[in-house]
A and B are shown apart, each in its own frame.
Chain A
Amino acid sequence: MDDQKKMILDYVVREYLEEDDDTEITYDTELISGGIVDSFSMVSLKRFLEKKYNISIPDADASPEAFDTVNSISALVDRFKKA
């Protein structure tokens, strides 16, 4: 579980922050409402998760709220891993 969260967090830091941005991102940092990932960019994050974990996340479940923290994203991934 923590490996999964770390993988997601690392991807967010690598793809959505500037190279030398020292903003601290935790599993609870608000990504969407905090303006780190915008709602348009969610699509590329969703693609990454689907590819990485071989799952399919329906658009209806890919809400800004579900993508707002690493914890909520990880929970979403778990839901569809089990589905």
Chain B
Amino acid sequence: MTVTYAERLQGFDWSLAEKDLGIRRGDPLNIGWHCSDRLCELGLARKPALIWEDHTGESHTYTFDDVRRYSDAIAAHLLSVGLKPGDRICLFMDRLAELYIGFLGVLKMGGIVQPLFSAFGEDSLWTRLDNAGTAAVITQMKHVKKVRRIKERLPQLRHIFVVDGAGQALKAPETALAMRELPRPAGFKVHPTTAETPSVLHYTSGTTGQPKGAQHVHYSIVSQYLTAKWVLDLRPDDIYWCNADPGWVTGTSYGIIGPWANGVTQVVLDAGFNAEAWYRFMAKHRVTVWYSAPTAIRLLMRDGNELVRRFDLSSLRHLCSVGEPLNAEAVIWSQEVFGKPFHDTFWQTETGCIVITNFPGMKVKPGSMGRPFPGITATVVDPATGEPRTGPGQVGVIALRPGWPSQIRGYWNNPEGYRKKFVNGWYLCGDRASIDPDGYFWFVGRDDDVINTGGHLVGPFEIESALLEHPAVAESAAVATPDKVNMEVVKAFVALKPGYEPDDDLELEIMNFIRKKLSPLAMPQSIEFVDSLPKTRSGKIIRRILRAQEFGEPVGDISTLMND
């Protein structure tokens, strides 16, 4: 019988999760150990932990004992070459098994694991590796050339491991790291990290400056375990699929830590989007719990109801969504074709776990984000004063009282940037919302210039900086523009240097220029050539005017404009 939201709230304390996980305060705590060794000790050694499949249908199953042994071997190998606890070690690859198991391996040797989206171009990659002072990158042949091209500008990068590099032409300091061929270390001891030892470093974009490294600690497992259990409703016999990439926080909090801390079998599809292939994959593996994203759901909706009905998806028991607001149409569609609604979940890189959500058994109000997870104090506030704005119809910025286990402990080398996220004792999420009389949160929009495209936050500054490197671009602004599938996509406004004329060829050239330098997510999906950009009297480009135009919203006060 489903436990109600009210019952979950009653007498809640995070120690519930500590007790389940056998965590005693002051003892060593290591996510890598909890997600592999501990499960073997609990008798789950032979249970499948990971069923991996690629787009050709090739698949491989790894038990929890496999995950334990291979992650031990990776950890021992990293230590054997001189890497040390506290080193930042980047995972830069597609959704290979080595990504999931290597994640635990880095944590087990005490390293700080830095997963990066494999579609990043070399500029995006360099920015994040340079900022973190990354000591090693674990990658694959498909992506090693991007690392190779920037290696000379990364003096702290000492090792590049290539998981499929055996027998390939590698260049020092590249070496092959074949997970299954590594020697089995006898008596390997997991590094005795503590609750507050840094664990995962995820980069996230803001309005100003380059992306910031969100610094998580091993204690985050407490929140990730319990939210996976209660919100994703994970149970011992589930087959779970989270289709997020571990280059982003959903792919690690709920694509590695949450399910494995619960001892749940998960399936991974290392392939691009294809509706038919996705349905076939879920039917083949009898997926019971599916954590997806609105963009993917809207793409599936576009392919129609007939396609989904060709597959037996009766195994699906619970559906959740994350990344951007889930529109009411998607909730209604899932009810129609799967016989159950998608449950929206709200959180972000900095929160480390789901903080506002629709619980199993809770009445879903289509289009609402749901209510705060127990142990999370959430409201909406005036971002200038931090005063709550919870009256009828009032809109404010979603704010959380600090102190839940998976809250990041800061931004890497940027304490001032983290301090600015707090006002009047509240952590500000940057999303605007209202709260209805039943306590449900309703998303309104972003409170800044960050672009949420397909559930990923893209910072305008990084795009504008890259645009200026194109020889034709004199100045630029990157803003969000509405999109039916991705909610928002990047649009660039570009003023050209003398001697350049706008045309279709130049537009396509600039689009591809950004795609290769940064990533496909950051590529402007359209470019508007302009004579000049709106600026303040001090010369700062005012993106909000351009964004407001894109969304058909009022521009607001423009009295400080200098060129209008």
Task: Give the interface of A toward B (CB within 8 A).
Answer: 15, 18-21, 30, 32-35, 37-41, 43-44, 47-48, 51, 59-60, 63-65, 68
Contacts and interface: CB of A to CB of B under 8 A. Distances in A.
Nearest to A41: B520
Interface stretch (B10-18, B108-116, B213-221, B270-278): B270-278
Contact of A32 (B272, B302, B484, B525): B272
A65 B259 CA distance: 31
A33 B525 CA distance: 21
Contacts of B55: 30, 33-35
B511 A47 contact: yes
A27 B149 CA distance: 30
A20 B144 CA distance: 12
Contacts of B302: 60, 63
B521 interface: yes
B94 interface: yes
A63 B512 contact: no
Contacts of A47: 504, 507-508, 511
A33 B276 CA distance: 11
Given A15-B512, A47-B507, A65-B303, 9 more contacts: A20-B145, A21-B142, A30-B55, A35-B94, A39-B273, A44-B512, A44-B515, A47-B511, A63-B303
B523 interface: yes
Contacts of B276: 65
B44 interface: no
B11 to A, nearest CB: 45
Contacts of A38: 119, 272, 520
A43 B485 CA distance: 13
Contacts of A18: 142, 145-146
Contacts of B145: 18-21
Contacts of A15: 512
B7 interface: no
Interface in B100-122: 119
The 5 closest A-B pairs by CB, nearest first: A40-B520, A33-B274, A41-B520, A32-B272, A33-B55
A51 B504 contact: yes
B23 interface: no
Nearest to A50: B504
A79 B303 CA distance: 19
A44 B272 contact: no
Interface residues of B, number: 32
Interface of B: 55, 94, 119, 142, 145-146, 270-277, 299, 302-303, 453-454, 484, 486, 504-505, 507-508, 511-512, 515, 520-521, 523, 525
Contacts of B303: 63, 65
Contacts of A48: 508
Contacts of B505: 51
A18 B145 CA distance: 8
Given A18-B145, A35-B55, A64-B299, A43 B273 contact: no
Contacts of B525: 40, 43
B523 A35 contact: no
A59 B484 contact: yes
B272 A39 contact: yes
A33 B520 contact: no
Contacts of A21: 142, 145
Contacts of A37: 272
Nearest to A32: B272
A68 B274 contact: yes
Given A35-B94, A64-B274, A40 B521 contact: yes
Nearest to A44: B511
A33 B507 contact: no
15 contacts: A32-B272, A32-B274, A33-B271, A33-B272, A34-B271, A38-B272, A38-B520, A40-B520, A40-B521, A44-B512, A47-B504, A63-B303, A65-B275, A65-B276, A65-B303
B559 to A, nearest CB: 37
B491 to A, nearest CB: 11
A4 to B, nearest CB: 18
A50 to B, nearest CB: 8
A34 B272 contact: yes
Contacts of A35: 55, 94, 270-272
B463 to A, nearest CB: 13
A32 B290 CA distance: 22
A49 B119 CA distance: 23
Contacts of A51: 504-505, 508
Given A33-B55, A33-B273, A39 B508 contact: no
Nearest to B146: A18
Given A63-B302, A65-B303, A44 B508 contact: yes
A41 B55 CA distance: 19
A48 B515 CA distance: 14
A48 B146 CA distance: 25
Nearest to A35: B272
Given A38-B119, A64-B299, A44 B523 contact: yes
B116 to A, nearest CB: 15
Contacts of A63: 299, 302-303
Nearest to B277: A33
A67 B146 CA distance: 25
